[in-house]
Amino acid sequence: MADDQDRLYSALVRRDGRLDGRFFVGVSSTGVYCRPVCRARRPKLENCVFFRTAAAAERAGYRPCLACRPELAPRLAGVRASATLASRAAVILEESCGILEDLKTVAERLGRSERQVRRAFMEEYQATPIQHLQTCRLLLAKSLLTDTSLSVVEVAMAAGFGSLRRFNDLFKKRYGLVPTALRRKNASVDRDREALEVTLSYFPPYRWDQILGFLAARAIEGVEKVENEKYFRVVNLQTPDNQWVQGWLSVGHQPALNALLVTIGKTLLPVLPLVLARVRHLFDLGQDPEAIFPTLSPLNELRPGLFEPGTRLPGSFDAFETALRAILGQRITIKGAGGLAARLVAAYGAPVQTGIPGLTRVFPGPRDILALTDDPRSGPLDDRLGPLGVTTIQARAIGSLARALFQGEIDLSLWADPEMEMLKLQAIAGIGPWTAKYIAMRVLGHPDVFLETDLGIRKALAGFGPPKGFSPRELAGLAEAWRPWRSYATVNLWNSL
């Protein structure tokens, strides 16, 4: 970033919050690296080295500032409008930092060689994938040591180090501190809580009320709820050693900090990095509103207020849950689909003890659905789901999707190719273009999907085209101007109703 150092230094002098998370500055006179919003004494330009990522700063030998805490800086999403090999690899690393041990797994998931992934990653992030992985783990551990009541051993395991000795050695080597020294600086933390709190930052502005309202309207009874301006849900995830753990989480807003506060039950410690990655995806924390503004602001020429900066694309916490909910929502109201999902959960979701009123069931996964279809005593899946109000076509589509996911024929992970997966989804009888696009938009985080046949889209644009309204073909043509952010245009149009 040397070619742009004058502009970056100017942002550092101004403590420009708009660039927080977009770069870090290493200070050669102190050996630390900071966020551009750091309140510490301003360094001289000749002592500053600018880095795109925290991993690049640590690779150069800098340690994180204890005042501005680089681990709290917002993170740009790995999958954006122009997803690269390196950014897709970064998604795998950050979601799986508690599991991965080498580059081979990342390369295999992306269908590339280790050499290709390493070279692409170095070019984009100025650090190797393994260095990026180590930085993710170290910064997560630093955050947990500072803000939670977890013991040092629990922190080491939760951050994915596998052993206390490995954690202590790397922490001391990189940061010049033993973890217990950082813990002593934070003696006021309550050690007896049964939950931990983690702060996840975003790039402002952020329309919290909009995304919370979207999730509230689609909350599945027993699994999730919105109450007192917070989102709550049951969590059921698999650990690296193939054990299933259940628990709960809640998400609230801290607008003064440009952050969300995630409260997580301690039973989820074995899968903490995965939980945090999924919360980031669900609330679209990695999006940059400034990148979207130039393309979508012309929506306000159609009608003032049609585009609101900071509008997020609601993602997904559980891919199968959201995809199944989309199938149930075909041709019926949001409320009607919610009723179907609630009955399915009540009938086939395993009970769970969370201690949170209203969070009582685990959403049935692909394995649970297949257990219904493979039991010779139960008959076809539509016989089991039909009494709940699920149509035969929907039931068969659900069964086919569950089998395809379980066998790995369809990939709904964030690093998958959304265009390819949409084609696979549409090959399933009962899943049409609208459903496949909706799944790609929310589950795969595809930023450039437009639902030209959606009734809500037509209503939002009624009165701005032909007397009888736009046809789907005309809507698709109109949306060409909103590439590569058509998913965000879709959400803005829905929100305008």
157 within a domain of the structure (yes/no):
yes
Do residues 326 and 423 share a domain? yes
Assess if residue 483 is contained within a domain.
no
- For 27, the enclosing helix (H) or strand (E) is strand 24-27
- Report the alpha-carbon distance of residue 373 to residue 361 in Å, rounded: 21
Contact 164, 145 (CB under 8 A): no
CA atoms of 159 and 277, how far apart (whole Å) = 13
314 assigned to some structural domain: no
Contact (CB, 8 A) for 149 and 189: yes
346 and 439 both lie in a single domain: yes
Q: Is 488 domain-assigned?
A: no
List the one residue out of 184, 253, 262, 175 whose CA is nearest residue 212.
253
- The strand pair at 32-34 and 230-238 is best described as unpaired
Residue 418 counted as domain residue: yes
**pLDDT of res. 79:** 55
Cβ-proximal residues to 60 (8 Å cutoff; 6+ apart), any chain: 26, 49, 51
Same domain, 441 and 329: yes
For β-strands 63-64 and 195-201, DSSP reports them as unpaired
Give residue for tokens 């301003």.
Answer: 42
Handedness of CA 74, 79, 85, 91 (dihedral sign): positive
Same domain? 216 vs 177: no
**Do residue 434 and residue 352 come from a single domain?**
yes
Cα atoms in the 13 Å half-sphere on the side-chain side of 411? 11
Q: Which residues, including other chains, have CB under 8 Å from residue 437's CB and lie 6 or more apart?
A: 422, 449, 450, 451
Full DSSP string of 200-214: EE-PSP--HHHHHHH
Task: State how far the Cα of 29 lies from the Cα of 46, in Å rounded to an integer.
Answer: 10
Residues 342 and 408 in one domain: yes
Pairing of strands 195-201, 259-265: antiparallel
Backbone angles phi, psi at 200, to 5 degrees: -120, 120
63-64: strand order across its sheet: 48-51, 24-27, 32-34, 63-64
* 199/167 same-domain check: no
CA atoms within 13 A on the CB side of 265: 17
Q: Which CA distances in Å does 398 have to 327, 338, 347, 368, 387?
A: 7, 16, 15, 12, 15
CATH of the domain at 178: 1.10.10.60
Residue 298 domain flag: no
Q: Which of 20, 34, 38, 65 is catalytic?
A: 34
| Domain's final residue, options 410, 429, 446 | 446
Picking from 139, 272, 319, 255, the residue whose alpha carbon sits closest to that of residue 263 is 272
Contacts of 89 (CB under 8 A, 6+ apart): 78, 106, 110, 117, 120, 121, 129, 415
Q: Is residue 343 within 8 Å of residue 214, measured between CB atoms? A: no
Start-to-end Cα distance in the chain: 43
For the domain that residue 213 is a member of, what is the CATH number?
Answer: 3.30.310.20
Phi, psi torsion values for 383, nearest 5 degrees = -70, -30
Orientation angle between helical segments 164-175 and 129-147, nearest 10 degrees: 100
Domains held by the chain: number: 4
Both 282 and 386 in a single domain? no
CA separation for the pair 46, 49 (Å, rounded): 8
Sign of CA pseudo-dihedral 381, 382, 386, 392: positive
Q: How many helices (H) and strands (E) does the chain have?
A: 23, 9
Contact 191, 149 (CB under 8 A): yes
Of 401, 423, 446, the residue at which a domain comes to its end is 446
DSSP alpha helix (H) spans, 148-240: 152-158, 164-175, 179-184, 208-217
Whether 383 is catalytic is no
Domain boundary, last residue among 401, 428, 446:
446
Q: What is the pLDDT of residue 303?
A: 86
Domain CATH code at residue 24:
3.40.10.10
- The pLDDT value recorded for residue 321 is 98
Same domain, 392 and 435: yes
Which residue segment(s) compose the domain that 113 sits in? 85-147+150-184
Whether 116 and 164 share a structural domain: yes
Verify that 424 and 329 share a domain, yes or no.
yes
> Which residue, among 317, 118, 321, has the nearest Cα to 220 in the 3D structure?
321
The pLDDT, as a whole number, for residue 78 is: 60
Query: Tell me, what DSSP letter sits at residue 361?
Result: B
Residue-wise pLDDT tens for the chain (497 aa)?
666 889 999 999 999 888 999 999 999 999 999 999 999 999 999 999 999 999 999 999 999 999 999 999 999 876 555 578 898 899 888 887 877 767 898 999 899 999 999 999 999 999 999 999 999 999 999 999 998 889 999 999 999 998 999 999 999 999 999 998 887 665 555 555 789 999 999 999 999 999 999 999 999 999 999 999 999 999 999 987 889 999 999 999 999 999 999 999 999 999 999 999 999 999 999 999 999 999 999 999 988 889 999 999 999 999 999 999 999 999 899 999 999 999 999 999 999 999 999 999 999 999 999 999 877 666 789 999 999 999 999 999 999 999 999 999 999 999 999 999 999 999 999 999 999 999 999 999 999 999 999 999 999 998 877 777 889 999 999 999 999 999 999 999 999 99
Q: How far is CA 40 from the centre of its chain?
A: 31
Residues 58 and 94 in one domain: no
From the list 20, 284, 448, 454, the catalytic residue is 454
- Residue 265: what pLDDT? 96
Asked if residue 482 is part of any domain, the answer here is: no
- Provide the CATH number for the domain around residue 381: 1.10.340.30
Is there a catalytic annotation at residue 411?
no
* Rounded Cα distance, 453 and 461, in Å: 12
Q: Which SS3 state, helix, strand or coil, does residue 84 take?
A: coil
Q: Is 154 inside any structural domain? A: yes
